[in-house]
Structure 1
Amino acid sequence: MRHPVDKLNAMAIFVRVVERGSFSAVAREMQTSQPTISKVLRALETELGGKLIARSTRQLSLTDEGLRYYNECRQILAAVDAAEHSFQSGRETIAGHLRIGSSVSFGRLQIAPRLPAFLARYPDIQIDLQLNDQNQDLVSEGLDVTFRIGPLNDSGLIARHIGTTHRVTVATPAYLKQHGQPQTPQQLSEHNCLLFNLLNSQNLWIYERDGQRHEVRIKGNAQSNNSEAIREMVLGGLGIALSPVWLFSEDLKAGRVTAILQNYTAQSLPIHAVSPANRRQSARVKAFVDYMSQALEAAPELQAVK
């Protein structure tokens, strides 16, 4: 005799194993053992009468039948999820595991400090904050939501604009004393400019003044894929950077760096909360995104430098 609830559970486990690419990762998520996950999938394969996963020593890969079944399982689970949500609308509890992705600097400086207050408000949520300066794949990383700064390239995601990263051009007083202070964006080409190299704009810095756009190709002897590394280079007097205001807010207050080109507006970057398109946003995801949106709107370090 078949048990539909057990079948749905097995399908959900199968989908998670495919998305994470690891039995052990799913076992950790579900707070169970790897043999238990393997047993569930073997039982599912037995009931279906064929192999879903072609196991190898290096990685998991799907059989042709497994790929078809995976796509069908996703549709079925999404339909069940939508039906439950429709029934429970307005009564869904804000609880459970929440796996959040972010760039390293934004996660460390803007997300992590706000987690204590969020968890005090929602004590039944357990958070797993994953930081990576490369754009994380939400499905393979098992992320419920991730925060991205800059234009979104993937239109197949559910995205909500929650804030703006205003940027400021900065250098130390010592650097400016030695090399002079540029008065126009074009004069940046005469300076050692430090590049954060993960933005699509690369070495093109864009400013605006009186409705006119100013572009300058910068050059310098150092670059990094981590904005906090750029900050350390600036503080060391190495050169000039175009960076988020929130990265240098305390340094600006303390006078460790000086904001330059303030008659020009540097191109700002949108902040989005992004979720996989094939998953309904849970109450806990919505609660966290709402919380972060309100927090960023009120944060002084997210405002433009006057």
Structure 2
Amino acid sequence: MDQLAALATFVRVVDEGSLSGAARSLPSSLTSVSRQLSALERHFGTQFVRRTTRRLALTDEGRMLYDRAKAILAEIKQVETALSASREVPAGRLRISAPTLIGRMLVAPILAEFLKRYPSLSVDLQIVDRTVDMLEEDIHVALRIGHLPDSGLVARRLADIRMIVCAAPSYLERRGTPATPAELTGHDCLAFSDTPGSGEWRFGKETGARSRVAISPRLWINSLDALFRAAEQGAGVVRLPSWLVKRELAAGRLVRILKDHEPAPSPLHLLFQSARLASPKTRVFADYLIERWRRADPFGSQPAGSSPDTAVSSQRTLRS
């Protein structure tokens, strides 16, 4: 008996709800399907299916085998995909999701060269500041900031995103430099938000107590780079990702403040659906992004992709 073929037939019988339905969908003869199911039951020494004139019903052992067989067949399919991936030319449409600022400033500018390298590929870049459902929205690759919940996704850590507070020298000369987060209540704060009104900023060292400080923004904008320009012109105190303002900090156009109170950085991950991990188009994009970010070092930290690969729940990793 070909055990793998028999397991696949058993799963098809359960999915179709009948031996004849399985025979039609495989396609195979009804006799062959019945013979493989009987051989499987003899091999394991137990009954998996109770047959009646109207329907099939799984035994407890049958339900257990069905769940295990589905998982085994899925794993084998992924292995087949992985082994054939190196022989395939990346082609088709690649759907990418990224946070607005990173997508617009760090992903979109490198896509023209990517498309030149892979003329059989097309790209959809979705730039949104929300958590996308990769399965529901058919996203192949997603960039996501923050700690990840357990899921079936596979993740590769690319960088750490640190949020810092800064202001222009002209503003600090006029209004003074806050020494603690609590002193921000007396300052003109510039807030990133989709909804105007009050807000809060998180503070706290990587080790130690964390705190949230309520702010009443003098200016709110739903664009981080617009806020950054307003701060550069002396409008007030702003909280931004450090990578966005590293040139302005180096040139002295902005001054970093409250450094001792900054929260721990948030990780930036590249996410994949496990079933798409070995797909040539996702693999070449991951390699290309990491290659470009290693050279450009946009986050001013360790090179992109140099940290160990991280799997979320599934315990699978992307190749280096």
Using structure 1 for the length normalisation, give the TM-score: 0.62
Offset, 1:145: 0.7
Counterpart of 1:276? Answer: 273
Contact 2:162 2:242 in 1 (8 A): yes
Q: How does 1:283-298 map to 2 (within 5 A)?
A: 283-298=280-295
Structure 1: runs of 5+ lacking an equivalent: 1-46, 49-73
Query: Per-residue displacement from partner, 1:171-206 (whole Å, max 9, x unpaired)?
Result: 1222212211123334334323333358xxx72422
Contact 1:162 1:292 in 2 (8 A): no
Change (3 A) 1:96 1:245: same
Counterpart of 1:249? Answer: 246
Corresponding residue pairs, total: 229
Contact 2:160 2:267 in 1 (8 A): yes
Is 1:93 the counterpart of 2:89? The answer is: yes
Contact 1:249 1:301 in 2 (8 A): no
Moved more, 160-169 or 220-229: 220-229
Residue of structure 2 aligned with 1:191, choices 173, 187, 194: 187
Moved more, 285-294 or 104-113: 285-294
3-state SS of paired residue (2:243):
helix
Offset, 1:161: 1.2
Matched residues in 2 for 1:86 and 1:299: separation?
30
Q: How does 1:46-65 map to 2 (within 5 A)?
A: none
Contact 2:201 2:215 in 1 (8 A): no
Counterpart of 1:176? Answer: 172
Moved more, 143-152 or 258-267: 258-267
Contact 1:98 1:125 in 2 (8 A): yes
Offset, 1:128: 1.6
The AA in structure 2 aligned to 1:271 is L
Q: How does 1:1-306 map to 2 (within 5 A)?
A: 82=78, 84-153=80-149, 155-197=151-193, 203-208=200-205, 211-213=207-209, 215-221=211-217, 222-303=219-300
Offset, 1:297: 4.2
3-state SS of paired residue (2:97):
strand
Contact 1:191 1:240 in 2 (8 A): yes
Matched residues in 2 for 1:185 and 1:296: separation?
33
Matched residues in 2 for 1:102 and 1:86: separation?
26
Query: Per-residue displacement from partner, 1:196-226 (whole Å, max 9, x unpaired)?
Result: 358xxx72422428x5445341403244554
Offset, 1:154: 5.8
Matched residues in 2 for 1:187 and 1:128: separation?
45
Alignment identity in percent?
A: 31
The AA in structure 1 aligned to 2:164 is V
Matched residues in 1 for 2:183 and 2:278: separation?
47
CA RMSD of the aligned region, Å?
3.4
Contact 2:121 2:281 in 1 (8 A): yes
The AA in structure 1 aligned to 2:146 is G
3-state SS of paired residue (1:164):
strand
The AA in structure 1 aligned to 2:101 is S
Change (3 A) 1:297 1:241: farther
The AA in structure 1 aligned to 2:293 is L
Contact 1:170 1:259 in 2 (8 A): yes
Moved more, 261-270 or 130-139: 261-270
Using structure 2 for the length normalisation, give the TM-score: 0.60
Query: Per-residue displacement from partner, 1:213-251 (whole Å, max 9, x unpaired)?
Result: 453414032445542343244235332222112222333
Structure 2: runs of 5+ lacking an equivalent: 1-23, 26-69, 302-320
